[in-house]
Amino acid sequence: MTSHSVTGARMLALGTALPDKVLTNHDLAKMVDTTHEWILERTGIHERRIGGTTAGLAAEAGRVAIERSGIDPATIDLLILATTSPDRRVPATASTVQELLGLSCGAMDLNAACSGFVYGLIAAHGFINLGHHRVLVIGAETLSRMTDWTDRGTCILFADGAGAAVIERTEGPGDLHGWHVDSNGALEESLYCDFDATIEMSGQSIFKNAVLAMEHAARQSLEMAEMSAADIDIVIPHQANVRIVEASCKRLGIPYEKTSMVIHRTGNTSSASIPLALEDALSAGRVKKGDRLLLVGFGAGMTSAAAVLTWDGK
């Protein structure tokens, strides 16, 4: 359980990628005993995207982020890929992504489940403090390969996608003001996936503990940043379930209207969900330079992570 302040780096640009194939609630109703209304009421999901490989989606998102940043790819010192669904056990899928992008840098996978992108973001700032100039952070998943499509409790949730961010050294204080990461291994059995198996989940346990974990991570990061919930302009939460986000916002005293939500069209994309939601907010004009953002997530483990930053990107 750690909180600390990091300076000297900023998120420069984002990129995202989603598979072409759309799987709607009505499609799922033909596969399992469920309905569009049942899924929507409990999750907020209308549809999700499935297909592709983790490396392929990650590379697509990374390529967009690099192009938008306007940097020379040769100046990237490290690639961090947050994923729970690597294409192979060995080597790291990050190495495949590195090759697809034509990069010459270090590359590693990071598995903190749905908190992974925030973990990666914090790690990138740390690497930059140690001397790196630019780090490419990607959250990418192909959870459809880990899903039991006969289990209506889980197949309605999970999906595929990717989001990437270029993090670079700055001369000033940087954009990250406070952060917090945590894990509670006692809750491991609430959500897990064994080798060559499919996702197992205890929905009630996840709901209760996710709300508490998100609240705690958010409060700790706000305290580190010496800010209050009222100082936040927009919340970028992990897109697991609308109800979880609503309950977390209520406990934090943040209006739900301040959140960026894309779960209705993406489903739960684990480590990709936060960059997907941030990209949507940027595209909609809901984020401008100087805005204060709260990124917060939770995941299997049970991991949790939050970061308070000021938007200074493109």
Q: Catalytic residue among 216, 238, 241, 249, which?
A: 238
In this structure, the answer to whether residues 41 and 155 fall within a common structural domain is yes
Residue 6 near residue 179 (C-beta atoms within 8 A)? yes
CATH code of the domain covering residue 12:
3.40.47.10
C-alpha to C-alpha distance for 304 and 218, rounded to whole angstroms: 9
Instruction: Return the pLDDT at 203.
Output: 81
In this structure, the answer to whether residues 236 and 206 fall within a common structural domain is yes
Sequence-distant (≥ 6) Cβ neighbours of residue 296 within 8 angstroms: 118, 214, 217, 218, 221, 235, 236, 237, 238, 248, 304, 305, 306, 307
| 105 a catalytic residue | no
| 25 a catalytic residue | no
Q: What percent of the chain has pLDDT over 90?
A: 95
Residue 300 near residue 239 (C-beta atoms within 8 A)? no
Strands across the sheet containing 160-169: 9-17, 160-169, 134-142, 78-82, 106-110
In this structure, the answer to whether residues 157 and 25 fall within a common structural domain is yes
In this structure, the answer to whether residues 26 and 58 fall within a common structural domain is yes
pLDDT, tens digit (0-9, with 9 covering 90-100), for 154-204: 999 999 999 999 999 998 888 999 999 999 999 999 999 999 999 999 988
In this structure, the answer to whether residues 184 and 163 fall within a common structural domain is no
Residue 220, domain extent: 176-310
* pLDDT tops 50 at residue 3: no
In this structure, the answer to whether residues 146 and 252 fall within a common structural domain is no
- pLDDT, averaged across the chain: 96
Phi, psi of 265 (to 5 degrees): -120, -5
6: pLDDT confidence band, cut at 50, 70 and 90? low
C-alpha to C-alpha distance for 97 and 185, rounded to whole angstroms: 30
Residue 169 near residue 133 (C-beta atoms within 8 A)? yes
* pLDDT tops 80 at residue 4: no
Element (H, E) at 245: helix 242-252
As for how many domains the chain has, the answer is: 2
State both tokens at 303. 């991991």
* pLDDT tops 90 at residue 7: no
Residue 238 near residue 296 (C-beta atoms within 8 A)? yes
3-state helix, strand, coil in the chain (%, to 5): 40, 25, 35
HSE (side-chain half, CA atoms, 13 Å) at 127 = 22
pLDDT, tens digit (0-9, with 9 covering 90-100), for 18-77: 999 999 999 999 999 999 999 999 999 999 999 999 999 999 999 999 999 999 999 999
In this structure, the answer to whether residues 149 and 197 fall within a common structural domain is no
Domain end point (choices 143, 169, 195):
169
The pTM of this model reads 0.96
State both tokens at 127. 């690497």
| 36 a catalytic residue | no
pLDDT, tens digit (0-9, with 9 covering 90-100), for 215-265: 999 999 999 999 999 999 999 999 999 999 999 999 999 999 999 999 999
Q: Catalytic residue among 25, 114, 193, 216, which?
A: 114
In this structure, the answer to whether residues 18 and 65 fall within a common structural domain is yes
In this structure, the answer to whether residues 216 and 298 fall within a common structural domain is yes
Distances (CA, A) of 190 to 181, 201, 222: 19, 6, 28
* pLDDT tops 50 at residue 1: no
